[in-house]
């Protein structure tokens, strides 16, 4: 295999015509790999690096890794960065990759990034499978369990979702899903119209673009009812307010796909390639987050690299209306305010929380926060002075930022920082519940195990940290992501078995939401990550 | 220079992950050209072939010319096709290119198509020029001429626009524009709001993406007041109803750009890359036609290869609302019905006229017509039986198709064929005027000079051709494109000096609209093409 380098040559003629093309020349300087090593490195890059650096290596959360940058660093320096990480936020990978694999990856990123293929609707449809025919869906739950207190749990590195009974703490089943599922969403209560059996159907999106539909009314062995695939690389999914459509967003190809929520048959695909806020074309304009707007018949689609929030009406797919709200780069993850009108999303490279008014279909505000905001599922609560507030953790610093989010009732506080709470370490997830006095923040991004394994809890009134909870002390494990149970009496925290990711040695630790004391440990889970309590999610308890 | 061949290899792993990349291999079989010949062929391809076959050679009006198809045909067959044309509608080029140039073009199209670069807002802005400062724009016309009866005329191969006084038939001036201007548009009367000096400013779009602004109130030497460039390849342009924005569409890059109508400063760029009606990704999703909707604060943007009509609101560029109306491929050129509510556009590869309801923002109808409909500026008139009707010529056959276009007053006739008129040859343009008894159609696409040089006129009541007018008899010339003067008493027809395209040996022939007799010949024009009468265009007289 020979490596190729592109050189752009520009033609222009007297009449003012200018057209440019790529001329091709084979460079002897570019490093090479055998075809087998190239394909393995390409796969490892895709699984572990592309999320931050992009398939085309243009950079996003991570740095640009195109040859013009990587060739300057050279093989040895690149190997060291991959092995040990950097101060700038790059993880170490010496515990995941062998020395030879690190060497090959360092070479791979000095080569021209291969452009993955496109995916047509027809290709997607070829992956659509029916495991249970809709006519055979049960008319009532086929088990005696309190399914509204089920937790749907991502088992990241197993490519599975666990269904856990929140009342009994039993694992009901493990369901095959796509690879490294990022998010699972269910049908929700909606202001305009919603499905009668709201909360029953759940949809997973794998990093590999695989979509699986789960029916919580089925007997455990039949809960997986349908499947399709809408991209090679994907992150988020949502269900329309009326329960009729599922939408999922692609990292590659850069598009979103609207599917029939019953059969998962892909109906509509829309490209998100476009221009960023500086007016530069972005081929890899990835769909980061997708949410159903609780008060509109529309989806909110966040296009990471273009800094655009697309409000997509789903009432007429053939005449699809999209409002492209320009905000800031790079859009990542967000959550609605309690009224369901305002969507609050992190623009992590701009250190801002972006707020979209979905009623007026326009940018409402941009709030300056700290380095790399990342709210995960987010948290809304009432502050004594500021009124309704929202909060976020940060990937880049140990800080929770809290802002007013009630422009009607508290216009002076709205979209302004109310207060900040310093934590011991940078984190990825924040969570609370309307019945709770406390707000929980994890510290997943801190390099020291002791902090990474602890979550911190602060009081809504005093704004002081009341407890630091060491969730695990086992080597190679980290604590992350909190979710309350249906009545708000428990908080569930994941323990990630990071260095033993192929075995079910992860767990979920259940705490009493009032006493903050440990109640239970649910074992037998592989890298448990996001957890979604049916009742809380169907009722927008954020 | 070495030629490159792409081979797609697909990786997949047990967890269901599949990602694909291009692997690179140098092929010895692919034909090669010297760098100089490659660049010349690339330029000639761009100027003469890309319009139908696409820069990336995926095909549209013309066939797909990617190596997988062209290599099968081989050098000799390709040379013959380029030289002599085909029955399928391909022109002959032996009168435009030398034998060596044809040979090089045949080789070029067997090589991998070079991908042209992108263009950022910043690059566009670097081309923005002010020839006359807006503060120096005159408050009233600086000449004694009846500027509302001016004709703005494309001089295609000169890269100029001629301003012709419709009263005196004098050429007022020739203005430098982009290369091979396709369309010129001025400010129009608008149902919601319009500029006070409507009809005064005109905007040209060159095939090279150059945009020029013309002020008809200036003295002839100062009429060119501003300039910019929004693409490498472009076709259409429009001005917003309020006169504040100019929008132009790119063939490459595939996008539209909204500019400040005063300064031509590019403000907003939106990609049109996306999926066609079959759900296949189209990188070269070219903007064919752009119109201002006379009854909405919105533009109509036709994306050729995706078969989508985008209705683009221009009231809020930062929160841009677009309705993507799915219809049929390949959208080309269109015109509004007399009410200004319905847009009628040719989907030429589908042999359909597509109708969009701009009030409801949805597909209204698709009318089956004949091979390759092409209405150019279009024609609307009143038929005795069908009521209001619209009509189109066809590039593929000598036929004018006429359909009802008044769904409110004549619902039974609306969007159905009313009648057809056979002409002697396939044409590109149809035209009439509300004061005229006749409809005019050219026959530009017929291979025989005698027919190509004649236009045909039919009666609105009898539907019979009443006269065939031989506009020119000179070798290498063709007759095309009709435009009425302001009061509808004259019809102006262009004579194209196709084989002497570098000299001002073209002309416009002026006919009496009632007697159909020749009144005048305006000489000294280089390949005169589209003509735009100020009064008719500002008042939507189609």
Report whether pLDDT(A475) > 60: yes
Contact yes or no for B281 and A120 at CB 8 A: yes
- pLDDT tens digits along A373-393: 999 999 999 999 999 999 999
Cis link prior to B309 (omega < 30° from 0)? no
Cβ atoms < 10 Å from Cβ of A26? 14
* A183 in Cβ contact with A153 (< 8 Å): no
Contact yes or no for B3 and A16 at CB 8 A: no
Kindly name the residue from B182, B194, B255, B332 that is annotated as catalytic.
B332
Contact yes or no for B121 and A275 at CB 8 A: yes
For residue B139, the distance in angstroms to the closest alpha carbon of chain A comes to: 32
Report whether pLDDT(A357) > 90: yes
Provide, as residue numbers in chain B, all residues whose Cβ is less than 8 Å from the Cβ of A181.
none
Q: Which of B24, B114, B119 is nearest residue A1 as measured by Cβ atoms?
A: B24
Report whether pLDDT(B489) > 80: yes
Q: Rounded to 5 degrees, what are φ and ψ at B513?
A: -70, -20
Calpha distance A428→A426 (Å, rounded): 7
Calpha distance B48→A308 (Å, rounded): 37
Q: Could you name the CATH architecture of B119-145+177-326?
A: 8 Propeller (2.140)
- pLDDT tens digits along A444-457: 999 999 999 999 99
* B197 in Cβ contact with B214 (< 8 Å): no
pLDDT at B499: 86
Q: Record the tokens describing residue A17, joined without a space.
A: 């015509």
Contact yes or no for A43 and B119 at CB 8 A: no
Contact yes or no for B320 and A324 at CB 8 A: yes
Q: Which of B1, B18, B233 is nearest residue A208 as measured by Cβ atoms?
A: B18
Most B-contacting residue of A1, A15, A120 (CB-CB within 10 A), to test interface: A15
Sheet of B454-459, strands arranged across: B430-431, B438-441, B454-459, B465-470
For residue A239, the distance in angstroms to the closest alpha carbon of chain B comes to: 21
Residue listed under structure tokens 């519940």: A433
Sheet of B255-260, strands arranged across: B233-239, B245-252, B255-260, B266-271
Q: When comparing pLDDT for B16 and A232, which is higher?
A: A232
Provide, as residue numbers in chain A, all residues whose Cβ is less than 8 Å from the Cβ of B255.
275, 281
Q: Identify each DSSP E strand in A86-143 by its residue range.
A: 129-130
In total, chain A counts a number of residues equal to: 542
Average pLDDT over residues A485-510: 95
Calpha distance A151→A167 (Å, rounded): 10
With H, G, I as helix, E, B as strand and everything else as coil, classify residue B295: coil
For residue A327, the distance in angstroms to the closest alpha carbon of chain B comes to: 9
CATH 2.140.10.20 domain position(s) in chain B? 119-145+177-326
Which H or E run contains A81? helix A75-84
Contact yes or no for B23 and A35 at CB 8 A: yes
Beta bridge partners, B358, equal none
The percent of residues in chain A predicted with pLDDT above 70, rounded, is 94
Calpha distance B260→B368 (Å, rounded): 39
Q: Which of B1, B43, B124 is nearest residue A19 as measured by Cβ atoms?
A: B43
pLDDT at A37: 94
pLDDT at B14: 25
Report whether pLDDT(B83) > 50: yes
Q: Could you name the CATH architecture of A4-108?
A: Orthogonal Bundle (1.10)
The percent of residues in chain B predicted with pLDDT above 90, rounded, is 83
Report whether pLDDT(B51) > 90: no
Active-site residue, B418 included: no
Report whether pLDDT(A47) > 90: no
Provide, as residue numbers in chain A, all residues whose Cβ is less than 8 Å from the Cβ of B322.
321-324
By C-alpha distance, which of B291, B190, B304 is closest to B237? B291
Contacts for B526 with CB less than 8 Å, ≥ 6 apart: B155, B156, B157, B158, B160, B497, B501, B502, B503, B504, B505, B506
Nearest CA in chain B to A313: B323
Contacts for A540 with CB less than 8 Å, ≥ 6 apart: A188, A189, A294, A336, A338, A340
Nearest CA in chain A to B125: A279
DSSP state of A77: H
* A426 in Cβ contact with A443 (< 8 Å): yes
Residue B253 — pLDDT band, cuts 50, 70, 90? very high
Average pLDDT over residues B224-230: 98
By C-alpha distance, which of B302, B294, B196, B287 is closest to B239? B294
**Number of A:B CB contacts under 8 A?**
215
pLDDT at B115: 84
Q: Could you name the CATH architecture of B30-108?
A: Orthogonal Bundle (1.10)
Nearest CA in chain B to A278: B121
pLDDT at A29: 63
Nearest CA in chain B to A39: B11
Contacts for A365 with CB less than 8 Å, ≥ 6 apart: A354, A355, A414, A415
Contacts for A141 with CB less than 8 Å, ≥ 6 apart: A147, A216, A217
* B391 in Cβ contact with B345 (< 8 Å): no
**Out of A510-514, B225-229, B509-513, B538-542, least confident range:** B538-542
Beta bridge partners, A289, equal A302
Q: Which of A11, A46, A322 is nearest residue B19 as measured by Cβ atoms?
A: A46
By C-alpha distance, which of B178, B176, B169 is closest to B150? B169
For residue B120, the distance in angstroms to the closest alpha carbon of chain A comes to: 5
For residue B279, the distance in angstroms to the closest alpha carbon of chain A comes to: 5
- pLDDT tens digits along B382-398: 999 999 999 999 999 99
Contact yes or no for B116 and A232 at CB 8 A: no
Calpha distance B132→B214 (Å, rounded): 10
In total, chain B counts a number of residues equal to: 542
Cβ atoms < 10 Å from Cβ of B77? 12
Burial (0-12, 13-18, 19+ Cβ within 10 Å), B19: buried
Contacts for B422 with CB less than 8 Å, ≥ 6 apart: B398, B399
The percent of residues in chain A predicted with pLDDT above 90, rounded, is 83
Provide, as residue numbers in chain A, all residues whose Cβ is less than 8 Å from the Cβ of B43.
11, 13, 17, 19
Provide, as residue numbers in chain B, all residues whose Cβ is less than 8 Å from the Cβ of A17.
43, 46-47, 179, 207-208
Contact yes or no for B325 and A319 at CB 8 A: yes
Provide, as residue numbers in chain B, all residues whose Cβ is less than 8 Å from the Cβ of A48.
none
Residue listed under structure tokens 């400040």: B260
Which residues of A have a catalytic role annotated?
49, 52-53, 90, 332, 374
pLDDT at B47: 83
pLDDT at B469: 98
Q: Where are the alpha helices (DSSP H) in A387-476?
A: 449-452
Provide, as residue numbers in chain A, all residues whose Cβ is less than 8 Å from the Cβ of B281.
118-120, 253, 255, 271
pLDDT at B23: 33
Most B-contacting residue of A2, A18, A38, A156 (CB-CB within 10 A), to test interface: A18
Report whether pLDDT(A424) > 60: yes
Phi-psi region of A494 (alpha: psi -120 to 50; beta: other; left: phi over 0): beta
By C-alpha distance, which of B238, B147, B244, B149 is closest to B195? B244
Contact yes or no for B9 and A253 at CB 8 A: no
Q: Rounded to 5 degrees, what are φ and ψ at B440?
A: -105, 140
Calpha distance B413→B405 (Å, rounded): 8
* B457 in Cβ contact with B442 (< 8 Å): no
Beta bridge partners, A438, equal A459
- pLDDT tens digits along B419-454: 999 999 999 999 999 999 999 999 999 999 999 999
Provide, as residue numbers in chain B, all residues whose Cβ is less than 8 Å from the Cβ of A255.
275, 281
Contact yes or no for A233 and B119 at CB 8 A: no
Q: Which of B21, B26, B281 is nearest residue A271 as measured by Cβ atoms?
A: B281
Average pLDDT over residues A45-71: 88
Most B-contacting residue of A49, A281, A325, A361 (CB-CB within 10 A), to test interface: A281
pLDDT at B30: 74
Calpha distance B367→B355 (Å, rounded): 8
Contact yes or no for B11 and A43 at CB 8 A: yes
Strands A477-484 vs A506-512: parallel, antiparallel or unpaired: unpaired
With H, G, I as helix, E, B as strand and everything else as coil, classify residue A368: strand
Q: How far is CA A310 from the centre of its chain?
A: 17
* A373 in Cβ contact with A355 (< 8 Å): no
Which H or E run contains B481? strand B477-484
By C-alpha distance, which of B541, B186, B483 is closest to B335? B541
For residue A466, the distance in angstroms to the closest alpha carbon of chain B comes to: 42
With H, G, I as helix, E, B as strand and everything else as coil, classify residue B30: coil
pLDDT at A414: 98
3-state secondary structure B82-134: HHHCCCCCCCCCCCCCCHHHHHHHHHHCCCCCCCCCCCCHHHHHCCCEECCCH
* B226 in Cβ contact with B176 (< 8 Å): no
Residue listed under structure tokens 């029939």: A260
Report whether pLDDT(A351) > 80: yes
Contact yes or no for B179 and A16 at CB 8 A: yes
By C-alpha distance, which of B427, B431, B465, B470 is closest to B446? B427
Q: Record the tokens describing residue A113, joined without a space.
A: 């990034």
Active-site residue, B481 included: no
By C-alpha distance, which of B37, B41, B115 is closest to B78? B41
Q: Rounded to 5 degrees, what are φ and ψ at A208?
A: -85, 10
CATH 1.10.760.10 domain position(s) in chain B? 30-108
Nearest CA in chain A to B157: A15
């Amino acid at each position: 295999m020979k490596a190729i380098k592109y050189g752009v040559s520009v033609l222009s003629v007297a009449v003012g015509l200018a057209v440019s093309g790529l001329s091709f020349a084979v460079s002897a300087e570019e490093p090479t790999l055998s075809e087998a090593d190239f394909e393995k490195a390409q796969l490892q890059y895709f699984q572990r690096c592309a999320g931050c650096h992009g398939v085309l290596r243009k950079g996003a959360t991570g740095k640009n890794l195109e040859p013009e940058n990587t060739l300057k660093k050279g093989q040895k320096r690149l190997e060291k960065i991959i092995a040990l990480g950097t101060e700038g936020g790059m993880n170490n990978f010496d515990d995941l990759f062998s020395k030879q694999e690190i060497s090959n990856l360092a070479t791979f990123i000095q080569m021209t990034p291969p452009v993955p293929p496109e995916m047509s609707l027809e290709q997607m449809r070829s992956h659509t499978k029916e495991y249970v025919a809709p006519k055979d869906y049960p008319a009532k739950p086929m088990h005696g369990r309190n399914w509204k207190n089920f937790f749907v749990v991502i088992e990241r590195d197993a490519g599975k979702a666990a269904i856990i009974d929140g009342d009994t703490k039993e694992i009901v089943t493990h369901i095959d899903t796509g690879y490294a599922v990022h998010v699972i969403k269910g049908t929700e209560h909606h202001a305009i119209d919603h499905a009668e059996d709201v909360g029953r159907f759940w949809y997973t999106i794998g990093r590999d673009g695989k979509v699986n539909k789960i029916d919580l009314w089925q007997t455990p062995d039949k809960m997986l009812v349908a499947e399709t695939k809408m991209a090679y690389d994907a992150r988020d999914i949502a269900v329309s307010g009326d329960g009729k459509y599922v939408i999922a967003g692609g990292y590659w190809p850069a598009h979103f796909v609207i599917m029939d929520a019953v059969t998962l048959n892909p109906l509509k695909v829309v490209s998100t390639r476009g221009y960023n806020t500086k007016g530069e074309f972005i081929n890899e304009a990835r769909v980061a987050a997708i949410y159903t707007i609780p008060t509109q018949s529309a989806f909110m689609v966040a296009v990471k690299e273009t800094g655009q929030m697309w409000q997509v009406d789903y009432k007429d797919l053939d005449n699809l209306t999209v409002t492209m709200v320009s905000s800031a780069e790079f859009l990542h993850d967000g959550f609605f305010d309690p009224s369901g009108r305002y969507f609050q999303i992190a623009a992590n490279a701009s250190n801002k929380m972006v707020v979209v008014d979905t009623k007026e279909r326009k940018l409402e505000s941009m709030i300056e926060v700290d380095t790399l905001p990342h709210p995960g599922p987010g948290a809304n609560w009432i502050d004594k002075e500021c009124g309704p507030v929202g909060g976020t953790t940060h990937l880049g610093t140990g800080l929770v930022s809290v802002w007013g989010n009630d422009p009607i009732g508290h216009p002076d506080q709205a979209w302004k920082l109310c207060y900040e709470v310093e934590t011991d370490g940078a984190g990825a997830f924040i969570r609370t519940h309307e019945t709770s006095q406390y707000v929980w923040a994890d510290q997943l991004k801190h390099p020291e195990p002791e902090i990474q394994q602890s979550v911190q809890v602060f009081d809504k009134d005093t704004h002081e940290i009341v407890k630091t909870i060491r969730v695990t002390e086992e080597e190679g494990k980290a604590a992350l992501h909190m979710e309350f149970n249906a009545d708000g009496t428990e908080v569930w925290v994941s323990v990630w078995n990071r260095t033993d990711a192929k075995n079910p040695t992860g767990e979920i630790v259940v705490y009493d939401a009032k006493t903050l004391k440990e109640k239970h440990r649910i074992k037998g889970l592989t890298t448990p990550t996001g957890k979604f309590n049916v009742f809380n999610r169907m009722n927008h308890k954020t």
